[in-house]
Amino acid sequence: MNLSFNLKSELRASGSTAWRVSRMWVYPICLLAGCVALFVGRVVAVAEIDPRRDATVDAVEQVMPSVVNIATTRRVQLNNPQDEAIRRYFELMRRLSRGEGSPPAEEPIKGIVGSGVIIDEEGYILTNNHVVENADRIQVQLWDGREYEAQRLLRTDQKDLALLRIVRQPGDKPFKPIRLAKDDDLLLGETVITVGNPFGLGGSVSRGILSSKNRRAMPGNQKLDFPDWLQTDADINPGNSGGPLINLRGELIGINVAIYGQEQGMGLGFAIPVKQISTALSDFFTLEWTASLWFGVGLKAAPYPLTVREVQTGSPADRAGLRVGQEIVEVNEKPLRSLVEFNQLVAASTNHEASLTVLENGARRTLRAELMPMVEFLNLLLQRRLGLSVQALPVAKAEPFPIKSGEGLLVSEVEKNSPAERAQIQTGFLLTAIDGYSVNGFVKAANVLGNKKAGERVQLSLIVQRGMNGNLLPPQPATASVVVR
């Protein structure tokens, strides 16, 4: 019994020792196996990396869905010399024989082929003004082959920029907008990429470096001569105009605009810098333009967040408490993603009253703004500066005037001893323009009147209907030079 017991005890003891010894080797073996697996995994991962896929390829892939090709068409009146008449006669016979009817009095001709870039998911496009300025029809083609008509909305000659909008179809998904770089985030010598439609060949890419951050084109060598362009040695050829110049992060740093002469242009391309683009977008996307509402604030368009850059004294924005440097993060408790969305949300506010959430020095505040329709604002300016009141031209009173209802403002009241009365303006006159700017455009007319200094003159375009011997004469155009008070 004792022998058996001792033997079992020793066997158990020896087994325990063996287990302890074997267990000592388990951890190193597992650790080694893990290291081998990790090493093999890394080797496989390295082997799977495509050496062709560099930062340039990644940037181009990000941006391509935002780039559009632009084709324009304009109509021209045909000449009428004898040879043209003969040509049109035979063309008419040919068409009638085919049952096609008479040829049109005007014929479409192909215009400029250029490029553009989508800057908002609603389909807003930025391009050069010179690409679309003479177009009667604008067509854009997306990177995936889809084609759309586009409307020209706004332009600025000073920066050679134009804003278009794609005519969307029912069921269209949001478009892919490009991201804008920060205004001054430019590195001299950094790699840059131009994307566009050179010579109308379709989407094309070229790469170079940023050669200068504030080059000024020499007068006489280029039709367009604006200061502080970006310069690059990346190819910018005819058709690239309006396309994006991007950095390796796929961010827009400029809009391609010109080369230094058509023959000796290699290595000397120019682009409108993102700082000027951002300013132009801020001027384009205002509630005054998009919704005919007076707000009186200028917002920095990109990159997000929306930052207040200027506030008009006495405006609804000023009265609401908006100040330069504040960041607007919500409208009516809805977070913001873009300046376009800001305009849409404010314009949709009930009774033109909007709740704005702003950040200032880290503190969160809620402001309430009451906006004014632009026609009321223009009327307010006319009362204060000239002493006359206007109203929309009623349909019932529009018949005698050679314009449509809505194309002019009817003078409804003239203040005694006011500048308007001294200029012999009377009730019943129709005001059509201020210093050449149509009152139907409100914004420009209000800007030119609001920026006048006391004592300066403003030219009013009017349509006047006077009577003679008890009979009304046909309305006649007239002008009045009025001193601003």
Which of 240, 224, 61 has the alpha carbon at shortest distance from 232?
A: 240
Which of 427, 425, 428 has the alpha carbon at shortest distance from 458?
A: 425
> What length does the chain have?
485
Q: CA geometry: angle at 31 spanning 30 and 36, to 5°? A: 95
Tokens of residue 31, six digits: 């650790």
Please name the residues in contact with 217: beta carbons below 8 A apart, sequence gap of 6 or more: 224, 225, 226, 229, 258, 260, 270
Give the strand pairing for 363-370 and 353-360: antiparallel
CA distance 216 to 418: 48
Q: In terms of C-beta density within 10 A (0-12 exposed, 13-18 middle, 19 or more buried), how is residue 346 classed?
A: buried
| Residue 343 CA neighbour count, 13 Å, CB half | 24
Tell me how crowded residue 85 is: count the other CB atoms within 10 A of its CB. 11
CA distance 476 to 168: 42
Tokens of residue 309, six digits: 């850059």
Helix-strand-coil percent breakdown of the chain, rounded to 5?
30, 35, 35
Please name the residues in contact with 54: beta carbons below 8 A apart, sequence gap of 6 or more: none
Whether the Cβ atoms of residue 217 and residue 72 lie closer than 8 Å to each other: no
Dihedral of CA atoms 428, 434, 436, 439 in degrees, nearest 10, equals -70
Widest distance between CA atoms in the chain? 151
Whether the Cβ atoms of residue 242 and residue 178 lie closer than 8 Å to each other: no
Give first-to-last CA distance, the chain, whole Å. 128
Give the strand pairing for 251-259 and 179-180: parallel
State the catalytic residues: 130, 160, 241
User: Which residues, in sequence order, are bridge partners of residue 191?
Assistant: 209
